[in-house]
Amino acid sequence: MSDYNFKEFMSRPDRLTPGHRMCAGCGATIALRNVLKAVKPEDHAVICNATSCMEVSTFTYPYSSWTDSYIHNAFENAAATAGGVEAAYNALKKKGKIDDTFKFIAVGGDGGTYDIGFQSLSGAMERNHDMVYVCYDNEAYMNTGIQRSSATPMFADTTTTPAGKVSDGKPQNRKDITEVIAAHRVPYVAQTTFLGNFSDLHKKAEKAIYTKGACFLTILAPCPRGWRYDAENIMDICKAAVNTHFWPMYEVVDGEKWTLTYEPKEKWPIEEFLKLQGRFKHLLKPGKEEEVAMLQAEVDRRWEALLKKCSL
C-alpha cells in the first residue's frame, strides 16, 4: 500500500461507467468512482448497494453502470446482503468452485447507513465479514427529497426540519457514525472527503479494501441539490468542511489506534463552511449568532475529543 501512485490510480479503468443518471456534479458518484479505483485491476468486486440515489440511477433496467457484479437488495440491508455474498464466496472457494479474488463492497447513503440500515450494518461489522462498507454521506435522505437523517448537522434546513418562523432547522446534533463503528473494534475504520488529488480517499479505500475483515469508510459527499450550492463548487465545500474541523480526516485501526490523517494548517471558523450552502442560509442572518456559536462549540468539542483519541 505504500506504493500508492496518484497517476497510476487515475490511469486504472473506471469501474463505475458513465451513462448513470445521477445529477450533474453529484458527490456520491465522485466518492464511489474513486473508492473503486483502489480495487486492483486484476481483482474482481461485488458491489452491494442499498436503495438510494446511487442505486436507482446506476442500475436502471437494463443499464448497469458497474463493470463488476452488482446487487441491489433493499434499503436497510446492504451490509447483510454483502455478508451473504461473502459467505457464498467462502463456501464456493472452499469447494473449489471459484478461484478468482473477489472484494465485497457494500454501499449506502447516510440514510441506509446511519438510520434504516444501521442494525444490519452493526451486525455485519460485528460478524467481521471480509468486506468494506462505504457510506457516501450527503447528510440527508436525498433520494426522497432532502429529509433530515441522523447525519444531518444541527440547524440544517431540510424538508422535514424546515427553517421557519419558529424553527432554525434541525434541532439535534448529528450522529458520529465513524466513532460508532470504530467502537465495534473492527480492523479498519476511516472517514474522508474530497481534497486535492484525493490521495487521502484513495489510500483509505485501498486500506479498507485490502485489510482482512470488516472495514468501514464514511465519505462526506456533498449533494448540490440538497445542500443548495452550484455544482462546480463541491471542492470548495469539502475543503471548508475539513478546514473548519467540521469533517476531520482520520482513521482508526482495530478500534484503538486513532490517527488524524490530515490536519488543517489553520482552523477556519464554521461560518466558512455554512456560507457556501443554501441549507444554512437562515443561520447567517442577523440575530442567529447564538446558534452559530452553538454549532461552533459542538464542532470544537468533537475536535478536541478526537485529538485526545489521536494522542495529539
Partner 1 sequence: MANKIRERLSGNEAIATAIRQINPDVMAAFPITPSTEIPQFVSSYVANGLIDTEFVPVESEHSAMSATIGASAAGARAMTATSSAGLALMWEELHIASSDRLPVVLALVNRALSGPININADHSDGMGAKDCGWIQLYSEDNQEAYDNMCMAFRISEKVMLPVMVCQDGFITSHAVQNITLNEDQDVKDFVGTYNPEDYLLNAADPMAAGPYSVTQYYMEARRGVAQAMRDSKSTILAVSKEYGEKFGREYGFFEKYCMDDAEYAIVIMGSAAGAAKDACDKLRAEGKKVGVLKLRVYRPFPAEEIAEALKGVKAIAAMDRAESFSGNSGPMSCELRAALFTAKQTPDVLSMVYGLGGRDITVEDMEKIYGDLMTGNFATGELPYRYVNVRE
Partner 2 sequence: MRTDITKQGLDVKWKDMTTGASIVCAGGAVQFKTGEWRVDTPKFIEEKCKQCLLCAPVCPDSCIPVKDGKRGDFDFDHCKGCGICAKVCPFGAIEMRRGEK
Residue among 114 and 280 whose Cβ is closer to partner 1:
114
Q: How far is the CB of 283 from partner 2 (least distance, A)?
A: 25
CA proximity to 107, closest of 31, 44, 170, 50:
50
Q: CA-CA distance, 204 to 281, in Å (whole number)?
A: 33
Beta-bridge partner residues of 156: none
C-alpha cell at 311: 494522542
Q: What are phi and psi of 178, to 5 degrees?
A: -65, -40
Residue among 96 and 286 whose Cβ is closer to partner 1:
96
- Span 121-160, contacts to partner 1 by CB under 8 A: 122-124, 126-127
CA proximity to 246, closest of 234, 236, 238:
238
Q: Which stretch binds partner 2 (CB under 8 A): 56-64, 120-128, 248-256, 280-288?
A: 56-64
Q: Under the criterion CB under 8 A, does residue 27 sit at the interface with partner 2?
A: yes
Site string for partner 1, 35-74 (x = CB under 8 A): ---------x-x-x------xxx-xxxx-x-xxxxxxxxx
Q: Under the criterion CB under 8 A, does residue 14 sit at the interface with partner 2?
A: yes
User: Is residue 27 within a helix (H) or strand (E), and if so which, with residue range?
Assistant: helix 27-36
Q: How far is the CB of 64 from partner 1 (least distance, A)?
A: 4
Q: Which stretch binds partner 1 (CB under 8 A): 76-84, 132-140, 216-224, 237-245?
A: 76-84
56 binds, among partner 2, partner 1, none (CB under 5 to 8 A by kind): partner 1
Q: How far is the CB of 159 from partner 1 (least distance, A)?
A: 22
Sign of the dihedral defined by the CA atoms of residues 303, 308, 311, 312, in that order: positive
Residue among 16 and 214 whose Cβ is closer to partner 2:
16
Non-local (6+) Cβ contacts of 157 within 8 A are 163, 169, 278, 279, 280, 281, 282
Q: Which of 1, 2, 3, 19 binds partner 2 (CB under 8 A)?
A: 19
Composition of the chain by helix, strand, coil, percent to 5: 40, 20, 40
Q: CA-CA distance, 308 to 312, in Å (whole number)?
A: 6
Q: Under the criterion CB under 8 A, does residue 287 sit at the interface with partner 1?
A: no
C-alpha cell at 222: 456533498
Binding site for partner 1 (CB under 8 A): 44, 46, 48, 55-57, 59-62, 64, 66-74, 76-77, 80-85, 87-92, 94-95, 97-98, 100, 102, 119-120, 122-124, 126-127
